[in-house]
Amino acid sequence: MKTIWRCKKSKIGPVIMLLLSLLSTSFAVLSQEQGFTPSVEINLLQDSNIYRTADEIDDTIASVAPTLAYNKLYGKQAIGFLYKGEYKHFSDNSRLSYANHDIAAKAQLDHSYSLSSEFSVNYRDNIEQPGINNAATSQLSEFNQVSRTGVSGKVLYGARQSKGQIVASYAYSKLRYDNNDQEFRDYSSDKLVGTFFYRIAPKTRILLEASAANLDYENTLNFDYSSKQKSYLAGVEWNATAITSSVLKIGYQDVDYANDLLSDLSGLSYFLDMFWKPNTYTLFKIGASRSAKESAEQSIGGYLSNQFNVSVEHEFTHRTQLSVGYQYIEYDFNYLQSRKNESQDISVALKYQSKHWLQLHVGFDLIERESSSQLYEFDAKVINAGVVLSFD
């Protein structure tokens, strides 16, 4: 398993040094109070279609997912570290067994009443789940392995409760694919986002947001997928309570490819994220988005993803909770008139808090993708049972 930090020093080194210096400053002012909250989730799954192909092959999978979180606090300053792992073993197809790793560090600094900042560094080394992008799936000897390195910073002028607030952020990420001839998808991205909030009511703010991103693909000898992306959004943010809230943004996006053979993407863009708690025991979540995605197929440009999801969580007792969710994704290939893809995911999960340190759960997932081309179609059923152990 490769876990090498593979960033070009000439491009990312100065940024990392700056962020590390800021993080070291925050360490100095934080108290020695600390919180360490480890947990581990253990699951046994029965997957009817492990490759997500038209020809189904099933398997039984054992999964162990540890989480290690560590935080320090001093007043309004906070710093934290997180490790999330996932180790899966396939019973019949052991060559597909894998380990995922996600490591992150984050600092939240409150400089004054009106000025605060956030900085984060993260590294991910994981497999790409089959069937989650626009590529056709096939029976492989191993799943696609991808690593992502990211650095981000955010500056906030004005508090959330202020009449107005300005938020500016920068994010750098670098993706590397390590196997299955996926190197043509390697790229680095720089993204700037600026958002202005203005309060029009005690619980309501309107917003204006503009973003610009450059995606530079590394292996451009045969085909260059590099692009410049921009978006302009307006919206509203509503916070009735700490739990009941919603954000709606709608506007225009534009993706301009460096290669003239690729069709540029432009048009409507939107984002909805809503949490509604009508009573103490029930929580509804609703989300929707339309955004440009990078292609996972060679010689084909990006596509527009229209996504909708809704879920409800209900507590029958203080120990027992039922969750039901539905997700729908439409793949919009405006340059491939003969092709249309749609995917759906229905999930049900029942959780029981046996002890304060022990949670039991069972779940069921029904996943399917329909397409005008049979090559992209599949359906899968996943049944799982497991426990979550929390350690004080």
- Do residues 233 and 247 lie in contact, with contact meaning Cβ atoms separated by under 8 Å? no
**Tokens 């509503």, located at residue:** 238
Q: Average pLDDT in the 287-293 region?
A: 96
Q: Does the pLDDT value for residue 374 go beyond 90? A: no
Q: Which residues pair with 344 in a beta bridge?
A: 328, 368
CA distance to 45, 158, 233, per residue, from 163 (Å): 50, 8, 20
- What are the pLDDT digits (tens) for 183-218? 999 999 999 999 999 999 999 999 999 999 999 999
Q: What's the pLDDT at 6? A: 35
Q: Average pLDDT in the 227-254 region?
A: 94
Q: Average pLDDT in the 98-126 region?
A: 96
Among the listed residues 141, 163, 325, 292, the one whose alpha carbon sits nearest the alpha carbon of residue 215: 292
How confident is the prediction for the chain on average, in pLDDT? 89
Q: What angle do CA 374, 375, 378 make, to 5 degrees?
A: 75
| Residue 61 in tokens | 């999978």
Q: Average pLDDT in the 256-283 region?
A: 93
Q: What's the pLDDT at 390? A: 94
Q: Would you tell me which CATH number, out of the four given (3.30.300, 3.90.550, 2.60.420, 2.40.160), belongs to the domain 9-390? A: 2.40.160
Among the listed residues 132, 65, 96, the one whose alpha carbon sits nearest the alpha carbon of residue 296: 132
197: enclosing H helix or E strand:
strand 187-201
- What are the pLDDT digits (tens) for 32-71? 336 899 999 999 999 999 999 999 999 999 999 999 999 9
C-beta neighbour count of 384 within 10 angstroms: 17
- Return d(Cα 125, Cα 123) in angstroms, integer: 7
- Return d(Cα 335, Cα 58) in angstroms, integer: 35
The pTM is what? Answer: 0.86
Cα Rg for the chain, rounded, in angstroms?
22
- Return d(Cα 77, Cα 100) in angstroms, integer: 30
Model confidence at 4, pLDDT cuts 50, 70, 90, reads very low
Is pLDDT larger for residue 332 or for residue 190?
Answer: 190
In the three-class reduction of DSSP (H, G, I as helix; E, B as strand; rest coil), residue 374 is classed as: helix
